[in-house]
Amino acid sequence: MIKFKNKKYDLLFSNNLAPLQALNYADELFFKEFKKLGVSSYRIISVIEQGWQKKYGLISDLKLLKKQFKLKISNYKWAPGILKKYELQSKKLRDLLLLISNKKYFNRANGELIGDLIKIRSNSATMDAMSNLLYLFSSLMGNEFFDNLKKYTKDKNILNDNFVYYTQPIRESRYAKIKIKKLSNLLKIEKRDLNFSLIIRIGAFIKDDVSELLDLRNKMAKNLYLEIAKRIKCPQSCINNLQIKEIERALKFGDKIKELSKDRREVTILFYPNDKIHIYEGNRAISFLNNGGFSEIKEKISLHGQVACKGIVRARAVLAHNSQEANKKMRKGDILIAVYTAVEYLSAMKKAAAVVTETGGITSHAAIISREFNIPCLIGVKGVMTAIKNGDLIEVDANKGMVVILKRN
């Protein structure tokens, strides 16, 4: 948690930014789509340093979102409506990407290049909003769904089996796998809880499918990005640090953007105070943080989190701040401790006896993959990256949702 201008922000997630997914698509369109889905937007501070992002949401906004999400649980048309819209929009984007992938851009006008870039953004903004919205839903409401299941049984094994069953994706995608197809001890839950489950399950599918679509977008639009980089006389990596409107200006007027890109690679702040984006880079970003009194709030550390896959493991802890560190340090049977996980962590996760992440919800990558590998997993364990040191002997009790330090290294 941080404080900025005397307002408290909570850490929503922290991750390595994949190419062509951050500043190219930093605009107000995301929140316009967000509101169309029936909930209010929320204020964000996104701090990007050397390609690593920490995204914070204003706590008062997140509380308001949670209230709105509670109302959606009784709206039986909301989540199916989102899924139907997603299916139509994803097909539209795939068709557009197929068309763009077959184009030879070297002889095309600048206007056509930027037009195709804008079309990609316009078509992906809706799905981007859906993915973020439903991820927030699972993160803010996941514990409540788990608590709701407790009214049907006191047996922890039955409870955990049903929690996995009722939160797995509605259909399979790249990494979102259906773990339990049939359950002998399946609980018969009320209509409202079934809808609660449906929202989470649709979110699990959409979040992973959108991630796959973003990767496809980068692959199929490769010729477009390469031609743009050539025309504005900068490496393709330089484009990653520019907004679409800045790319457009560089194509039209020859704006020099190398220095801007360089500053943004070092440090960039994306600030959404009221549905409007403000971008600060380099010294301006540092000044922004200083002037706002940006500071970490020291909290009492309690090593509890949300169960993503049940089980109990005692083993050596390995702290990893990025995928390279995880893949280098992990030995078979270790417990992986990370801020989050993504596809780049897969080889490390295959060695893990258990996984613990500081952020994430029940539809996060760590939760999905741990269920697929059938290894104990806790997510959203705040303070775990600070409390545990490399080599500590720890116990991950993913039945009770606890991490216990047994012996310091």
pLDDT digits (tens, 9 = 90+) for 178-195: 878 899 999 999 999 999
Q: Is the pLDDT of residue 340 over 80?
A: yes
Q: Is the pLDDT of residue 206 over 60?
A: yes
Q: 308, 370 in Cβ contact below 8 A?
A: yes
Residue type, 267: V
Region 34-59 average pLDDT: 89
Kindly report the average pLDDT of the chain as a whole number: 89
Lowest mean pLDDT among 328-342, 357-371, 394-408: 357-371
**How much is the pLDDT for 258?**
75
Categorize the per-residue pLDDT at 21 as very low, low, confident or very high, splitting at 50, 70 and 90. Answer: low
Categorize the per-residue pLDDT at 20 as very low, low, confident or very high, splitting at 50, 70 and 90. Answer: very low
